[in-house]
Amino acid sequence: MKPTDHLPRTRWIAALALGLLAACARPPEPEGAAAGATTSITVKGSDTLVQLGQRWAELYMAAHPEATVQVTGGGSGTGISALINGTTDICQASRAMKESERVAVKEKRGVDPVEIPVALDGLAVYVHESNPVPSLSVEDLRALYLGQVKSWKEVGGPDAKVVLYGRENSSGTYGYFKEHVLEEGDFAPEVQTLPGTAAVADAVAKDPNGIGYGGVAYARGIRLVPISKEKGGEAVAARLEEVESGRYPLSRSLYWYTAGAPSGLAAAFRDYALSPEGQKVVSEVGYYPLRVGAAAPPEAPAQGGAASPGTDASP
């Protein structure tokens, strides 16, 4: 800046001083931030994962005030559709993406989706705390939810009508249960579909004759029923070691998906979720953390996933 005819020397000196003060007062750029770097991302999808995603976001933003991470639910299908349409940066899903969905991401976004296992879960079967049924087989669950069994007495419980609760069809948990329990059969018409795992758990907690299914982290005020792969077989509880080994029949991985490899804030948030600190949050919320060398649940092969160093990409 130089003095001009329109700006006398004294005013020029004052303006220069003010400019220097303003430059000194300007907050520094976040460490490692590039010019124009994204400081806001959206995470959308699975209701099973929403409370974990929100907790990760809260802790990450507390440590990185310059970042904004918005997490919403709606179901795995909703999150996958948002990823296809480019309206979310990260999709949370409680089931693996279908081949048709992978193709849609490629066609719409011009890149392949990247699968990132972020936690382990035992899809739990909920009953009221007063229900004495000792265990159920996958076959029993199929008969119940297909409407072939109407009374608890038929599966070792009390002489009372079974009340069925489930998830809406946009839910990844719905899709997983339909595939792995019903063998793609149709749910009985009397199943009461509810918009979220928390709603299912709450309904069962209030209904002595109710049964529902969902993530193990929502098991509050209800009882989780041990499950056997076959009728008369060993019933296994949805505990960490049983889920890690795949012995629990309804073991599954929980996923994040991105369109292409994540970058910027999305990559930093991924690295946090997969770090020891982030995996500790998984346990605190009620799911099971990824473990190096842990056996993969049989339904969850890694498909092009990205993982942080020191984290098993195939839980």
* 111 plus 257 within the same structural domain: yes
Mean residue pLDDT of the chain comes to 85
Confidence check: pLDDT of 312 > 60: no
For residue 65, tell me if it sits in a domain.
yes
Is residue 195 in a domain? yes
**Domain-located, residue 246:** no
The answer to whether residues 138 and 233 belong to one domain is yes
Average pLDDT over residues 12-27: 37
The verdict on residue 311 lying in a domain is no
- For range 171-188, the mean pLDDT: 96
Which of residues 237, 271, 306 is at a domain's end? Answer: 237
Same domain? For 225 and 261 the reply is: no
Same domain, 57 and 132: no
Residue 24 has pLDDT above 70, yes or no: no
Tally of domains within the chain: 2
Amino acid letter for position 300: A
Asked if residue 132 and residue 94 are part of one domain, the reply reads no
If asked whether residues 146 and 221 sit together in one domain, one would say: yes
Amino acid at 76: S
Within a domain: residue 81? yes
Please, which pLDDT band fits residue 3 given cuts at 50, 70 and 90?
A: very low
pLDDT per position as a tens digit, 220-272: 889 999 999 999 999 999 999 999 999 999 999 999 999 999 999 999 999 99
- The amino acid at residue 31 is E
pLDDT over 80 at 23, yes or no: no
d(CA 228, CA 55): 33
Q: Can you give the length of the chain in residues?
A: 315
Residue 237 structure tokens: 């509880």
> Considering the entire predicted model, what is its pTM?
0.77
Same domain, residue pair 183 and 115:
no
Domain that holds residue 206: 124-237
- Across the range 158-186, mean pLDDT stands at 96
User: Rounded to whole angstroms, how far apart are CA atoms 81 and 6?
Assistant: 60
d(CA 315, CA 311): 9
Residue 101 falls inside a structural domain: yes
Whether the Cβ atoms of residue 116 and residue 92 lie closer than 8 Å to each other = no
Asked whether residue 17 is assigned to any structural domain, the reply reads no
Residue 85 inside a domain? The answer is yes
Range 201-208 average pLDDT: 97
- pLDDT number for residue 200: 96
- Per-residue pLDDT of 36-76, as tens digits, reads 456 999 999 999 999 999 999 999 999 999 999 999 999 99
The strand ranges marked E within 99-187 are 113-122, 124-127, 136-137, 163-167
105 and 150 assigned to the same domain:
no
Contacts of 196 by beta carbon, 8 Å cutoff, 6+ apart: 47, 73, 167
Residue 21 has pLDDT above 60, yes or no: no
Instruction: Count the helices and strands in the chain (H runs, E runs).
Output: 10, 12
pLDDT bracket for residue 165 (50, 70, 90): very high
Q: Do residues 136 and 230 share a domain?
A: yes
- CATH number of the CATH domain containing 174: 3.40.190.10
